[in-house]
Amino acid sequence: MKTRIKKSFACQGIKNFRISTDIKQLDNYIPKEGDVVLFEVIETGKHKNLQTTTRNVTLMPEDQILGVFGNRYATNQFEGYVPDRPMEEYHMLGGGGVMGILASSHSKFEEVGPTRLKLIGLATDPFKRVINTLKVFKDELVPFSGLSASQTKIVLSLGSSMDSGKTTTAAFMIHGLKKRGNKVAYIKLTGTAYPKDKNLAYDMGADLAIDFSKYGFPSTYLTEEPVLLSLYETLIKDSLSVRPDYVVIEIADGIFQKETKMLLQNFAFMNTVNDVVFSAGDSLSAVHGYHLLCQMGIFPTALSGLFTASPLLVQEVESTLYKDSGSPSVPVLGLRDLMSENCPIFSNTMKVLQA
């Protein structure tokens, strides 16, 4: 029986390929970020399913997966990297098909560990070269200028950390903006390839929902600043196809994360942003994150996130900020507020300038 290859979401843009199992080529192969390779599942661990372009498929030992080598930064899950030499065993770093070698994991996954893989083939082009997703789409990226963003309003959804509520915040903002009769696009600019966030945004009404994986990025972790800015410009340009009144941009992880911090400190990038909505998991991170952003010259339009599920945490944030004479008043918005037709925060048309 012919073995079925389960093609991962990270390989979405790869249409034509051949699988090389040539021993000589495999023995001399050194993994590179973006390389498309064929793995065999040795043992399932944390990831017992693989996200394809259509659905989540179950994984079993001896299954064959078409995945992409990439790095991952996920404080609540895995940290992992593309190895610089051939390995006897590789690991599934993300459910969208991002593969590499595990460096660390959250303690809740220490016992189960990562899904373990064996490299059994390379996806090659007609010239027997290993296909690399980053190279396939490299020429489609346009240089950063900020011109695309100037044709719409940009709302930036930031968070204090992973799982602080920024995706849900973005989705409910989109729902509210749609209620007000706006056209809205959603872009996830950074993170690890997985369609859940953009699917949620689309389900909540976005006229277009896209992310970095469209241009072959298995993840954006360790991406250089000029490339990340070019990716931003390209995705914004793509979003203009629906003539959006607003584009909601989500940046993964927290404001201390390398790429997030890099973007927030980039004046040219922040000068394209109209509004910043900051999500936090608890009252302390909400207050401290707000002050930290203000120190960077970034003044959030509103605070939201997981902490708004607790009336007591909301009271802590509001009482702390409102008593601090050095802090401007900033609204705290729960999900009902964000999706309300009367949500006041989107009337601002002035750019959020860094001091």
Return the pLDDT at 328: 59
- What was the pLDDT predicted at 119? 97
- Is the pLDDT reported for residue 250 higher than 60? yes
**Taking residues 262-285, what's their average pLDDT?**
97
pLDDT of residue 326: 57
Spatial contact of 154 and 274, defined as CB atoms under 8 Å apart: yes
In this prediction, residues 224-250 reach a mean pLDDT of 98
Q: Which pLDDT score, from 0 to 100, does residue 327 have? A: 55
Note whether 26 and 103 are same-domain residues.
yes
Q: How confident is the model at residue 260 (pLDDT cuts 50, 70, 90)?
A: very high
Q: What is the mean pLDDT of residues 16-30?
A: 92
Dump pLDDT digits (tens) for 126-137.
999 999 999 999
Average pLDDT, the chain: 94
Residue 324, pLDDT above cutoff 80: no
Across 329-346, average pLDDT? 85
Residue 211 has pLDDT above 60, yes or no: yes
What's the pLDDT at 353? 47
Q: Which of 115, 132, 149 is the last residue of a domain?
A: 132
Residue after which a domain boundary falls, among 104, 132, 160: 132
| Average pLDDT estimate for 167-181 | 95
pLDDT at 355 over 50: no
Residue 254 to residue 244: CA distance in whole angstroms: 27
Question: Does the structure show a pLDDT above 70 at 67?
Answer: yes
Residue that the structure tokens 């970020």 belong to: 33
Q: Is the pLDDT of residue 352 over 60?
A: no
More confident residue, 23 or 285: 285
CATH number of domain containing 232: 3.40.50.300
The answer to whether position 354 is within a domain reads: no
Instruction: Say if residue 216 is in the same domain as residue 170.
Output: yes
Rounded to 5 degrees, φ, ψ at 276 are -120, 125
Residue 352 in domain: no
177 and 81 in one domain?
no
Q: pLDDT category, 322, cuts 50, 70, 90?
A: confident
Instruction: Give pLDDT, residue 340.
Output: 86
Are 79 and 167 part of one and the same domain? no
pLDDT, tens digit (0-9, with 9 covering 90-100), for 296-315: 999 999 999 999 999 999 99
The pLDDT confidence band at residue 347, using thresholds 50, 70 and 90, is low
308 lies in which domain range? Answer: 140-347
Domain-ending residue, one of 105, 132, 159: 132
Query: What pLDDT is stored for residue 1 in this prediction?
Result: 47
Same domain membership, residue 283 and residue 238 = yes
Report whether 17 contacts 103 (CB < 8 A): no
Identify which of 158, 191, 154, 179 has the alpha carbon closest to the alpha carbon of residue 303: 158
What pLDDT, on the 0 to 100 scale, is given for residue 343?
80
In a domain, 208, yes or no: yes
338, part of any domain: yes
- Domain assignment present for residue 106? The answer is yes
* % residues pLDDT > 90 (the chain): 89
pLDDT-wise least confident of 88-102, 272-286, 340-354: 340-354
Q: How many domains does the chain divide into?
A: 2
